[in-house]
Chains A and B, each alone.
Chain A
Amino acid sequence: MVKLTIDGLNVTVSEGTTVMKAALELGIEIPHLCFLEGINEISACKVCVVEMEGKEKLITACNSAVEEGMVIYTNSPKARRVRRSNVELILSQHDCHCATCARSGNCNLQKISNDLGILEVPFKEEVPKVPWDDKFPLIRDSGKCIKCMRCVQICDKVQDMRVWDVQNTGSRTTVDVSGNKKIDASDCTLCGQCITHCPTGALRERNDISKVFDALADPGKITVVQVAPAVRTAWGEELGLTDNESSEGRMVAALKRMGFDYVFDTNFAADLTIMEEGSELLERLEKPGKYAWPMFTSCCPGWVSFVSRRYPKYLRNLSTAKSPQQMFGAMAKTYFAQKKGIDPHNICSISIMPCVSKKREASLSYMRSAGAGQDVDIVLTTREFVRMIRAEHINPKFLKEQPFDSPLGESTGAGVIFGVTGGVMEAALRTAYAVVEGHNSEPDAFREVRGEKGRREADFQIGGKTLHTCTVSGLGNAEELMQDIMNGRVSYDFVEVMACPGGCVGGGGQPIHDGSEFALERGNKLYELDRERQLRFSHENPEVQKAYEEFLGAPLGVKAHELLHSEHVNDLVYNTHNYI
């Protein structure tokens, strides 16, 4: 243990603790900008500077380890002045039009600058302007980048995609796409983790809100919206709602208040996905020689992008089942349209997703099975959804809960847990077991696939055979998985991969909390919803059963194949590039 004094208070902490953490033990929160624990401890911003007695130069609290007898002042005149000066310097190269920034009110730079009482910057404004393709689903605004390097680090260390890198040298040093590539030709899977870890508004999703408002305002359009499972766990965070207030019912009510004609649940399509993907797994297990192993899940577009960019040979391992978003879109413009007697061309199909990659998935040229334009026309992230609620000055607290509409609104607990890592696997196993064994398992029989670890293995007995499964979240873990598979170090039957750590609940389109990860907490909410659902097996979803009866026929049947499956092709080649 190491004893030291911070701002006149004594504290004892274990060896190797940073000054910042030691100060926190005393309730002293040292301001910081670039620091991201375990990911980015490079003291680039020099905002966390503190004075160490007996030393002329200041030290950075974020990455300096405590020493015995150290005397630290976090607010000495020198520390205060230097911290302020460094924030002013950063502001001199930052586009400070906070009023038009997506991160206004949720920006650490804005907060620190306000906290320090900086009302004017004594330096010349030098905001860099680097052109960017504003049609791409991920937008980088060089004028807002503070070169904290978090995006580089998260993409390198957590996702192992190495899309971002330091560009140029000397005073022109900045962040840009690595290898002198353009972003749309890079390996970017649009996982959006760089966005959720950016301290400012330098990275954000493409703003598609106005397209939605246009559709809502168009009397000739029938607006059909679907909401992904993970969205309901997080939409209330930025609106200051309690867990009770941010219920599924109020979320539906908010959407109805905005004027959507039909509010449906992506969970319905998740159950449908299980019917198709579960059947596909059983089909593959029946004819193992015919297929490539292991079978990979295909609902995460970040993961599908990853496979097509890094391991195109393994595209055939992906389940041909489309993601719930795309199954929903195809069903909305066919089954639903027929049922309601609507011309599918008049339907505007909108989805609300915890994800940025879904914006690209929806725009792929082969996602037009219904024959009425793209199956999903517009994709919004959870953050955009929250912004719309604000724009419509809706206070969800005062809304009465409402149910999802029918026929694409009913869902089971199995569909709900799609939003958390291991959920697709667990849902598929529940149904596969029931199909093979002829009876349901305990709903939680496959809970071994759950967990915080980035990669988990579990074996299950189904039909007297052992099924080897692996569940992975985070693309860095996916890269390791692929290396292990390629080098024959592991052998699995069924593998679920989600690009974002923790699954969609930790998705790149979710609300941002600088320095904190919320995936675990949100995931637990989904498990709670699963527990509370009357129905917990996808095959028991009555609306899904009805859809097969009335429209689809059997899982993997001709119609299902036409609408709900696709051969995954390299999306770099097939990207329509119009990004709707």
Chain B
Amino acid sequence: MSRLSIATPNKAQLTVERLYKDLERRIIASPPGLCPVDLQLSFLKLCHAQTCGKCSPCRIGLGQLQNLLEDVLEGRASLKTLDLIRETAEDIMNSADCAIGYEAAHMVLTGMEGFMEDYRHHIEHGKCSCHITQPVPCVALCPAGVDIPGYIALVKEERYADAVRLIRKDNPFPTACALICEHPCEARCRRNMIDSSVNIRGLKRMAVDSARANTVPTPEKAESTGKRVAIVGGGPGGLSAAYYLELMGHHAVVFEEKGRLGGMLRYGIPNYRFPRERLQEDIDVILSTGVEVRLNTRIGNGEGEIPFEKLREEFDAVHVAIGAHTDKKIGIEGEDSRGVMSAVEMLRRIGDDDMPDFRDKTVIVVGGGNVAMDCTRSAIRLGAKKVGIAYRRRQEDMTALPEEVEGAVAEGAELYTLKAPHRIEADENGCVAALWIEPQIIGPIDAWGRARPIQADVPLQRIPCDIVIVAIGQGIETRHFEESGLSVKRGTIAAMSDSEVGNVKGVFAGGDCVTGPATVIRAIASGKVAAANIDEYLGYHHVIPCDVEIPPVTYEDKEPCGRIQLSEEEAGERKKNFDAFECGMTRQEACQEAGRCLRCDKYGYGSLKGGRAAIW
């Protein structure tokens, strides 16, 4: 008899491990719109299977909670049942030995708080109030509702120009989104259930790289209505609204305070991520519809500015899409020293080709979002000797996309995580000499599931540097609009979900100035929504169609197959200039990747409810 032995997992254990992974991916791909009570019940069932069986609250209680939830779902429960569920869950939480029991009960309580209405609806109506409205997960999650399975099928058939036309039905910035969209569409891709999500953005990139947007003509415009719409702001939101309004036969006039169009696409996103000439391709197409542009024109009461009231008088409707372009300050000592710069200012200068000189400088960027990464990587390209990122939480807590953080690190950025800025030290000339930081330790988790940093019990640290870039968020310049009668709430313009600014007739607003700083695709979606509702407001009902025929499904079995990732130029080379470094797919890659799409537009619920909105 051996006294000890080395434990090796058996086949059953290994298989279960694999199934756990499958389940994780499956949960990721959970379709939107499911009944939360039904899901709660299945979670409980899993929790119950995990119980060791020692303690009665967990062994029996989790089972009895399932029975009670089953009663709710089967229409056998009364409102009293809800009290029993809550009390039982509380009792399990308060008495189970270990997390298997008390966390399972905690999940039930969280659910009762989060979707009490659904519980009640089941009890009062004997049925669920949930409804799957958009059966195709990627389309459901794309704010602009782009026909993703449609254009993927077109890319598979190498019909790239048709793909661009199809995308443009819902999004007039196919190039921008092909290069820099945060691709919320990929999050719940059903392909996750097999292996991993389809590289949707990569396939869109294949389309716009192979059929440049400015070579694909726009659809015919509707007959002119003689109506004129003023658009304040020439960013993605404003230009999207302008494009669709022109297609509908209204005349759009865009007022842009800066010297060039593009908004954050130009003044926020650096060239290496989105080359200016590629941005111009989208803009040229939009302008080709007849959009009129007034550059260097500010809306306001100052000299040379146009008062908002005048727009309202002269136009049939006004759309405000001014974005979020003002700085946010940290509010620490020394922030006014020379060498402290806001991210907005830095990226704006780069956008206007007025490159800051960072040669031989040490640069510290404060912040952990995508903008902070853009600043970091731009600073490296501007010749900085050393660039560091100071962030008060951990790397995994950064709001920037993980690949952006990894890219910055690969290009040589230092991460100073768990370092909260304390003060900026200036030299005798008032120039930045160092950033003093307060070390943190990661602490309790807040209500949103994010770990909060708390001050570490160690002395302040000094990081010597010449430049500090503050990238902790942007604000919105709402003052003039507020004075003109638009309602403003928490620093953003209070527009409704149909883009209309409730308190002023004929005025619409959308994009970052309504939502706060967000993504380009959300800005585009807001432009689309505004165009549709302005059209209705003006008394019309134009539809935006697309006559591209979508390829039928093919019958290949869907064998598991890895996801094609886009490659990048090597870090050491790309950091030397602002050139684009992401490489598109080859035809072989694109064809294989497009073949991974499960065509949820044709299979599953899509075949019942229709997989696409052919017009809007």
For A52, what are the chain B residues with a Cβ–Cβ distance below 8 Å? Answer: 555
Interface digits, A141-169 against B, CB 8 Å rule (1 contact, 0 not)? 00000000100100000000000011111
Q: Which residues of B contact A176 (CB under 8 A)?
A: 127
A388 to B35, CA, bound (A): 45
Complex alpha-carbon distance, A152 and B552, angstroms: 25
Set of chain A residues within 8 Å of B555, measured between Cβ atoms: 52, 55, 59, 64, 67
How many residues does chain B have at the interface if contact means C-beta atoms less than 8 Å apart? 21
Tell me the chain A residues, 157-185 only, with Cβ under 8 Å from chain B.
165-172, 176, 180
CA distance A318 to B552 in the complex (A): 46
Q: How far is the CA of A170 from the CA of B38 in the complex (A)?
A: 8
Q: Render B87-131 as a binary contact track against A, CB cut-off 8 A, 1 for contact.
A: 000000000000000000000000000000000010001111111
Give Cα distance in the complex from A55 to B552, angstroms.
Answer: 17
Q: B35 touches which one: A165, A169, A180 (CB < 8 A)?
A: A169
What A residues does B38 contact at CB under 8 A? 168-172
Alpha-carbon separation in the docked complex, A211 to B303 (Å): 87
Q: Is the CB of A180 within 8 A of B607?
A: no
Instruction: Contact check, A42 vs B35: say whether CB atoms are below 8 A apart.
Output: no
Question: What are some 9 contacts across the A-B interface (CB < 8 A)?
Answer: A52-B555, A130-B126, A168-B35, A168-B130, A169-B33, A169-B132, A170-B35, A180-B121, A180-B129
Task: State whether the Cβ of A63 lies closer than 8 Å to any Cβ in chain B.
Answer: yes
Which 3 residue pairs across A and B have the least CB separation, nearest first? Answer: A168-B128, A42-B607, A169-B35
* B413 CB–A CB distance under 8 Å: no
Contacts A41-B607, A55-B555, A67-B555 aside, 15 further interface pairs with beta carbons under 8 A come to: A55-B556, A57-B557, A131-B126, A165-B131, A166-B132, A168-B127, A169-B35, A169-B130, A169-B132, A172-B38, A176-B127, A180-B121, A180-B125, A180-B127, A180-B129
Q: In this assembly, does A43 line the interface, its C-beta being within 8 Å of a C-beta of chain B? A: yes
Q: Which residue of B lies closest to A64 (CB)?
A: B555
Interface centre among B38, B129, B552, B555 (most CB of A within 10 A): B555
Nearest residue (CB) in A for B124 is A180
**When chains A and B are docked, how far (Å) is the Cα of A56 from the Cα of B34?**
30
Collect the chain A residues with CB atoms within 8 Å of residue B607's CB: 41-43, 63
A44 to B603 alpha-carbon distance, docked (Å): 10
Asked if B200 CB lies within 8 Å of chain A CBs, one says no
Q: Does residue A65 face the partner (Cβ distance < 8 Å to B)?
A: yes
- 1/0 per position for B68-90, CB-CB distance to A under 8 A? 00000100000000000000000
Q: Does B608 lie at the interface of the complex (its beta carbon under 8 Å from any beta carbon of A)?
A: yes
Which A residues lie within 8 Å of B608 (CB)? 42, 44, 149, 152, 166
Contact A167–B557 (Cβ < 8 Å): no
What number of A-B contacts does a CB cutoff of 8 Å give? 52
Q: What 0/1 pattern do residues 53 to 92 of A give for CB contact below 8 A with B?
A: 0011101000111010000000000000000000000000
Range of interface residues on chain A?
20 to 34
Which residues of chain A have C-beta atoms less than 8 A from B33's C-beta? 169
> Chain A contacts of B73 at CB under 8 A?
172
| Most A Cβ at <10 Å: residue of B38, B73, B126, B608 | B608
Contact assessment for A167 and B127 in the assembled complex, using a CB-CB cutoff below 8 Å: yes
Digitize B128-150: 1 where CB-to-A-CB distance is under 8 Å, 0 elsewhere: 11111000000000000000000
A: residues with CB less than 8 A from B are 41-44, 52, 55-57, 59, 63-65, 67, 130-131, 149, 152, 165-172, 176, 180
A295 to chain B, nearest CB (A): 29
Min distance, Cβ B549 to any Cβ of chain A, angstroms: 12
B residues in contact with A41, CB < 8 Å: 607
- Chain A residue numbers with a CB within 8 Å of B39 are 170
Q: Give A65 to B39 CA distance when docked, in angstroms.
A: 36
Residues of B513-572 whose CB lies within 8 A of A: 552, 555-557
Look across to chain B and name the residue whose beta carbon is closest to the beta carbon of A131: B126
CB of A55 to closest CB in B, whole Å: 6
Docked-complex contact A167 and B128, CB < 8 angstroms: yes
Cα–Cα distance between A149 and B557 once the two chains are bound (Å): 27
Chain A residues positioned under 8 Å from B556 (CB to CB): 55
- Could you say which residues of chain B place their CB within 8 Å of the CB of A166? 131-132, 608
Q: In whole Å, how far is B90's beta carbon from the nearest beta carbon of chain A?
A: 27
- CB neighbours of B128 from chain A (8 A): 167-169, 172
Report whether B34 and A169 are in contact in the complex, using a CB–CB cutoff of 8 Å: yes
Q: Which residues of A contact B552 (CB under 8 A)?
A: 65
The contact of A172 among B35, B121, B131, B132, by CB within 8 Å, is: B35
What CA separation (Å) do A59 and B602 show in the bound complex?
A: 13
- Minimum CB–CB distance from B360 to chain A (whole Å) comes to 61
Per-position contact with A for B160-184: 1 when CB-CB < 8 Å, else 0?
A: 0000000000000000000000000
What B residues does A170 contact at CB under 8 A?
A: 34-35, 38-39
A171 to B41 Cα, complex, angstroms: 12
- Shortest CB distance B23–A (Å): 16
Contacts of A44 in B (CB 8 A): 608
Rounded to whole Å, the gap between the CB of A41 and the closest CB of chain B is 7
Instruction: Tell whether, in the assembled complex, residue A56 and residue B35 are in contact, meaning their CB atoms are under 8 Å apart.
Output: no
A506 to B464 alpha-carbon distance, docked (Å): 87
What residues of chain B lie closer than 8 Å to A56, measured between beta carbons? 557
Shortest A183–chain B CB gap in Å is 13
CA distance A176 to B127 in the complex (A): 9
CB distance from B194 to the nearest CB of A (A): 13
How many whole Å from A56's CB to the nearest CB in chain B?
A: 5
Residue of A nearest to B559 (CB): A56
Tell me the complex Cα distance, A149–B610, Å.
Answer: 13
